[in-house]
Chain A
Amino acid sequence: MTEYTDKIQEIAKRLLAEGKVEMVIGFRKGTVPMMNQPHYAASAASVNELIWDSNCALNLANYVTDKKGTIGIVAKGCDSRNLVTHIVENKIRREQLYIIGVPCTGMVDHRKVSAMAGGEILSMEEAGDDLTVSGQGFSKKISKADVLQENCASCTHRNPVIHDELIGNPVAEQTDADPYASVRRVEDMTPDEKWNYFEKLISPCIRCYACRNACPLCYCPTCFVDESKPQWVGKSQDAIDVRTFHLLRAYHCAGRCTDCGACERACPMGIKIREFTKKLNKDCQELYGWEAGLTLDQRPPLDSFKTDDPQEFIK
């Protein structure tokens, strides 16, 4: 995907020169390997910093929430779906955006790569599906397919669903992907097993809220955990409060989550937060035939009411 870099810069320069947008939001190369940084370019000089490779995993829709003015934005499949959600939820207007669509073959899970490398990685080179990671005294070839982020490995919307310009030919969508295998495993557990599973899952949480803040859906002016009048949730490391945060946040994302994986990528403690959201995605698909962020013409299912909505789950 690295060949996209020149194309992104070229389009960004053109958009800025033509005055079509005031800034172009994309990524610049990070100061550490596999950690590219969300970046905006508003001048020709800063456009040259824009890059594209398999480490552009964060969701850039997070950076246009309630923004004024016109914005060019680089968007892979999931980013584009969150832009759709943003537009439907009135967090940005379609006319404000010039979407530079990037067909995506998945992003790399830096933790997986680090665990495989056997030493501190000082650089990563990318050529098609081949990644070469190098460090002090080692250099290792890794197949990208083996180290994809889990959400990317099971992604069925790699091509942007909405764009003003597509940067390359659409990539083939994955048809054999099963995003819900782990959800079914949990569904098959007894209540006690489920309880233990989720308790263990969130036990490393330090409540830094990186998951929430990296999520484009979490734009509430005051999150329920921050509310003080009334205070719904305590602020300590008490397990009840930690649990409440994760469960309620997940439910706030029901029918809206695009499984972009930003929450898991941002979590400093490596918590698999998608174990919560995926279940709700699955429910939305099964109950309402709904996947978030695919169309501008329809309200999300929990945001609308139909007389034939399923209700057998109400007990």
Chain B
Amino acid sequence: MTLIKIDRQTWADGIEKAKLAYRVFGPVKEKNDHEFKQLDKGEMPDFSLQNTRLSPKAIVYPQSQIMLTYSLDESRDDCRIMKEVENVTAPQLVLGIRPCDALAFPIVRRNFDSPEYQDTYWIKAYEATTFVGLACNAACSTCFCTSAGTGPFGETGQDILLMQDGDALYAKILTPKGEALAASMGWSKPAEPDAAGKLDALKTKAEASITASVSTDKLKDKILLELYGAPFWEEEAFSCINCGTCTYVCPTCWCFDVQDETHGLSGVRMRNWDSCMSPLFTIHASGHNPRTQKYERVRQRFMHKLKYYVDKYDKGIQCVGCGRCIRMCPVNIDIRRICDKMNRFDAKSCACDIASS
């Protein structure tokens, strides 16, 4: 793995060059928060951030995405014949994605790219995207990436990892895709020999700055139905207002709704992010709803991330520890608290737990 040092001028020039070949996305500050935006000519990513308010999942998986189009014009031969929308295949570049958010893509991929079915929209956009990560030198109090499968200098899901040491910027090339990008950006100057050691020290310091953690080691061994029937769900869900904030800000929430919309005689079939927090998510046409109570919906979200996914794929939890849901939940439902309750849960002694709570 090559370590490259990027000076200020090469950085700025490289980004402008990249914009000719890629749609370049980077964090941009808007009012008090950063969001990922496509960078216009001359616009630079702003790396003075902890993380963006929304996760960058929309770059590969937009909140509203047209999938099929059709005409309802009876005079046309192709009336009511549905057609595939041209997928995103133009190269995209994400600059400055945090390691937690980058890990989300391989996690979510297991859903969109299964042996049986391939979600062509997601996969083509994902394959067209080059991910340039940005290591975190200091975590926030709600970050728990080190107990969610990555870390502030985590490399999974990225093609290049950028690391900042004061004013100096280093790039670690991780994949052939990253190599191609580095070549096209003019990132070629090898880092000084002692850089790797300094970055290692930064990494150690960054990891030590993570104060939050979750325990997930026992989740896999829990009996699914026992955890499902645990007595804490109703109490933990009390404050929940069943809004979709947690699901929409989450980098690993992937559920969607499919809707037809027509304007005059032309129509589209589109998908929109959806949320398991909404009663509508599961209601049958008959009016029957398998999840009528809000605690059932809260339970679904956490069981999905922390048990169903764990059992199904045996690749850890469906959470990257970015902490957005904790920071943004209007009623302070904290996944760390719930994860620990789940991990600690003992069906045999739960009677005592209830008595003592």
| Chain A residues with a Cβ under 8 A of chain B | 30-32, 35-40, 43, 45-46, 58, 62-63, 111, 114-115, 120, 122, 136, 206-210, 212-214, 226, 234-238, 265-270
B272 near A237 with CB under 8 A, answer yes
Closest A residue to B243 using CB positions: A210
| Interface residue B278 (Cβ < 8 Å from any Cβ of A) | yes
A213 touches B32 (CB 8 A): no
Does B89 make an interface contact (CB < 8 A)? no
Q: A30-B332, A237-B64 are in contact. Are A207 and B244 (CB under 8 A)?
A: yes
Q: Considering the chains assembled together, what is the distance between the CA atoms of A197 and B272 in angstroms?
A: 26
Main DSSP-derived SS at the A contact region: loop
Q: Is the CB of B239 within 8 A of A236?
A: no
CB distance from A267 to the nearest CB of B (A): 8
Q: Count the B residues whose beta carbon is within 8 Å of the partner chain — how many?
A: 44
| Assembled-state Cα–Cα distance A270/B33 (Å) | 10
Whole-angstrom CA separation of A226 from B280 in the bound complex: 7
In the complex, what residues of B have CB within 8 A of residue A265's CB?
330
* A117–chain B nearest beta-carbon distance, Å: 11
- B278-317 near A? 1/0 per residue, CB < 8 Å: 1010000000000000000000000000000000000000
Nearest chain A CB to B357's CB is how many angstroms away? 7
A6, B327: Cα distance in complex, Å:
28
Minimum CB distance partner of A231 in chain B: B259
**Complex Cα gap A39–B331 (Å):** 10
Within 8 A of A (CB), among B213-269: 235, 238-239, 241-245, 247-249, 257, 259, 261
Given A30-B332, A268-B245: A238 and B239 within 8 A (CB)? no
Q: Would you mind naming 20 contact pairs between A and B with Cβ atoms under 8 Å apart?
A: A32-B142, A35-B332, A37-B331, A38-B238, A39-B238, A45-B357, A62-B241, A115-B32, A120-B50, A136-B138, A206-B63, A208-B248, A212-B243, A213-B241, A213-B243, A214-B243, A238-B64, A266-B243, A268-B248, A268-B328
B168, CB-defined interface residue at 8 Å: no
* Contact between chains at B272 and A210 (CB < 8 Å): no
Q: A213-B243, A214-B243 are in contact. List 17 more A-B contacts (CB 8 A).
A: A31-B337, A32-B142, A32-B332, A37-B331, A37-B333, A58-B331, A114-B32, A136-B138, A206-B248, A235-B257, A235-B259, A238-B64, A267-B330, A268-B245, A268-B248, A268-B249, A268-B330
Q: Which residues of A contact B32 (CB under 8 A)?
A: 111, 114-115, 270
Tell which of B241, B248, B261 touches A214, judged by Cβ atoms closer than 8 Å. B241
Q: Which of B243, B275, B336 has the most CB of A within 10 A?
A: B243
Please state if B245 and A210 are interface contacts (CB–CB under 8 Å): yes
Please give, as numbers and ranges, the residues of chain A lying within 8 Å of B275 by CB-CB distance: 208
In the assembled complex, the Cα of A270 lies from the Cα of B245 at a distance in Å of 12
In the bound assembly, the distance between CA atoms of A35 and B239 in angstroms comes to: 12
For B235, B239, B329, the residue with the greatest tally of chain A CB atoms inside 10 Å of its CB is B239
Report the number of A-B residue pairs with Cβ-Cβ less than 8 Å: 106
Q: Report if B169 contacts A (CB, 8 A).
A: no
CA distance in complex: A210, B246 (Å): 10
Say how far B25's CB is from chain A's closest CB, in angstroms: 17
B270 and A209 within 8 A (CB): no
Assess whether B141 is interfacial by the CB under 8 Å rule.
Answer: yes
Find chain B residues with CB under 8 A from A62 CB.
241
- With A206-B248, A226-B278 in contact, is A31–B261 under 8 Å at CB? no
- In the assembled complex, the Cα of A14 lies from the Cα of B259 at a distance in Å of 53
Bound CA–CA A169/B244 (angstroms): 39
Known contacts A38-B238, A270-B32; is-contact A236 B328 (Cβ 8 Å): no
Instruction: Write the nearest CB–CB distance from B323 to chain A, whole angstroms.
Output: 9
Cβ-neighbour of B53 out of A35, A122, A268 (below 8 A): A268
- How close is B209's CB to chain A, nearest CB, in angstroms? 9
- Smallest CB–CB gap between A211 and chain B, Å? 8
* Closest beta carbon of chain A to B23's beta carbon, Å: 19
The reply to whether A39 and B64 form a contact with Cβ atoms under 8 Å apart is no
By a CB distance below 8 angstroms, the chain A residues around B270 are 236
**B259 contacts A210, CB within 8 Å?**
no
- The distance in angstroms between the C-alpha atoms of A114 and B33, with both chains bound, is 11
A36 touches B332 (CB 8 A): yes
8 A-B pairs closest in CB distance: A266-B330, A210-B243, A236-B64, A208-B244, A37-B332, A213-B241, A30-B332, A38-B239
Tell me the smallest distance from the CB of A225 to a CB of chain B, in Å: 10
Complex Cα distance, B356 from A212, in Å, reads 36
Q: How far is the CB of B144 from chain A (nearest CB, A)?
A: 12
